[in-house]
Amino acid sequence: MYKPDEQPDQWKTWIMYHNNQQDSTSCGVLILMFAKEFLWTRTISEVKISPEYIRDARLEIACALLQYKDTVGVPSGCSPIFNRSKHMQ
């Protein structure tokens, strides 16, 4: 976890193995899917990358953005944008 008194050169890094992107257009979707899965499980190796899952994830992202569009900038805190979904095993 980030601590304000730490310098970036003190951070621990590691390589997380994951499925590779299969096209040249889904990198943003995959980054969001990896981030979502990591927050739930602390791993990203189970993120599915088939075209069907990417299509479904795009729709899920669009729906979440539209659902929470009016909460941006609201000082009440973070909105729970995603629920764990079928995109993860």
- What is residue 5's predicted lDDT score, i.e. its pLDDT? 75
Helix H segments across the chain? Answer: 27-41, 51-67
* Residue 88 and residue 40 in contact, taking contact as beta carbons nearer than 8 Å: yes
**Geometric angle at alpha carbon 14, from 35 and 58, rounded to 5°:** 20
- Mean pLDDT (the chain, rounded): 80
Helices 27-41 and 51-67: crossing angle, nearest 10°? 80
User: What is residue 12's predicted lDDT score, i.e. its pLDDT?
Assistant: 80
For residue range 34-74, what is the model confidence (pLDDT) as tens digits?
999 999 999 999 999 999 999 999 999 999 888 877 776 65
Give pTM, 2 decimals: 0.65
Nearest to 59 by CA among 24, 38, 33: 33
Map out the domains of the chain as residue ranges: 25-68
pLDDT for residue 18? 87
pLDDT at 84: 52
